[in-house]
């Protein structure tokens, strides 16, 4: 596995590839877990070469404390990626990707970004899109892989590739979960085992919606809100039922596999998100 710290050296290496070689790309912010490794494995199954980036992107954080507290486990990450037989890791510093004092670009995501994460994390998706556009222009992957846990982000990235006329195909990969159902996330490293058990209620609520899909959305929403009110330490930020394509709230169920139940919650200072596609 080759590791590059600068886009110049990475580009020099990529220029040696035969034009017929397919490249799969997984952008990460490190703190690699089995969810990331599933993306790597999917890429290896579909592409000739797999590239993973490790970069904690400052422009997508609206909270400086959250940015500074984000888990940093570079040596562990490299070990895991090497064991998963990732071919290339790109791990730049900020100045390799951003000019001094550079801000996130402004994009028009056609309302996909208005609710949920877009509402509670101002400018978050502009920051995400800014770094993804930069990485795509450097690597020019045939395919890029994203977890469905961040479903709104996945839809944003699909919108982005159309905006920038990218030839990269975006592939969504189902959420990988811990034994108790908690969606795997880099932020889980900040939780104790006891807190992880409490946080598993998020998935139980999503599963309840799956099992009770014949009920009206309003009833299910009420049930989840009440469930969170009775659970100490776990604070609900939002529960939304949205259309998969538009990411806008729905009042009635649409066609199968086109409805998403999305939850964001806090346990102490750790923010967790999850969803289920129905």
Domain with CATH 3.30.1300.10 in the chain: 186-277
The highest-level CATH class for domain 186-277 is alpha beta
Higher-confidence residue of 64 and 238: namely: 238
Instruction: Give tens-digit pLDDT for 206-223.
Output: 999 999 999 999 999 999
Walk across the sheet containing 49-54 and list its strands.
Answer: 2-4, 88-90, 49-54, 23-28, 143-147, 169-173
Catalytic residue ranges: 36
Compute the average pLDDT of residues 115-122: 91
Q: Is the pLDDT of residue 232 over 90?
A: no
Compute the average pLDDT of residues 252-264: 97
> Considering the entire predicted model, what is its pTM?
0.96
Instruction: Give tens-digit pLDDT for 3-18.
Output: 999 999 999 999 999 9
Q: Out of 109-113, 126-130, 139-143, pick the least confident.
A: 109-113
User: Phi, psi (5° rounding) for residue 177?
Assistant: -120, 155
Instruction: Give tens-digit pLDDT for 71-84.
Output: 999 999 999 999 99
Domain with CATH 3.40.50.620 in the chain: 2-173
Percentage of the chain surpassing pLDDT 90? 94
C-alpha radius of gyration, the chain, whole number = 19
- Angular region, 2: left φ>0, alpha ψ -120 to 50, beta rest: beta
Please check whether the domain covering 2-173 is classified as CATH 3.40.50.620: yes
Instruction: Give tens-digit pLDDT for 156-191.
Output: 999 999 999 999 999 999 999 999 999 999 999 999
């Amino acid at each position: 596995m080759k590791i590059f710290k600068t886009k110049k050296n990475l580009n020099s290496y990529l220029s040696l590839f035969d034009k017929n070689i397919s490249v799969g790309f997984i952008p990460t912010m490190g703190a690699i877990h089995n969810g990331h490794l599933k993306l790597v494995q999917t890429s290896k199954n579909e592409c000739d070469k797999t590239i993973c980036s490790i970069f904690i992107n400052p422009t997508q954080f609206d909270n400086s404390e959250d940015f500074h507290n984000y888990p940093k486990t570079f040596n562990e990450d490299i070990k895991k990626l090497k064991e998963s037989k990732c071919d290339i890791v790109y791990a730049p510093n900020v100045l390799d990707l951003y000019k001094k004092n550079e801000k996130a670009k402004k994009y028009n995501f056609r309302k996909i970004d208005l609710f949920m994460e877009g509402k509670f994390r101002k400018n978050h998706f502009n920051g995400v899109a800014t770094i993804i556009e930069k990485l795509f222009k450097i690597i020019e992957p045939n395919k890029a892989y994203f977890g469905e846990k961040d479903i709104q982000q996945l839809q944003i990235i699909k919108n982005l590739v159309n905006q920038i006329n990218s030839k990269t195909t975006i592939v969504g990969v189902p959420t990988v979960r811990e034994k108790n159902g908690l969606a795997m996330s880099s932020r889980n490293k900040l939780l104790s085992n006891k807190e992880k058990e409490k946080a598993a209620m998020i998935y139980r609520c999503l599963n309840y919606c799956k099992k009770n899909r014949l009920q009206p959305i309003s009833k299910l929403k009420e049930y989840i809100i009440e469930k969170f009110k009775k659970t100490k330490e776990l604070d609900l930020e939002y529960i939304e039922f949205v259309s998969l394509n538009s990411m806008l709230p729905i009042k009635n169920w649409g066609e199968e596999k086109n409805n998403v139940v999305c939850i964001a919650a806090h346990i102490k200072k750790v923010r967790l998100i999850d969803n289920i596609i129905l």
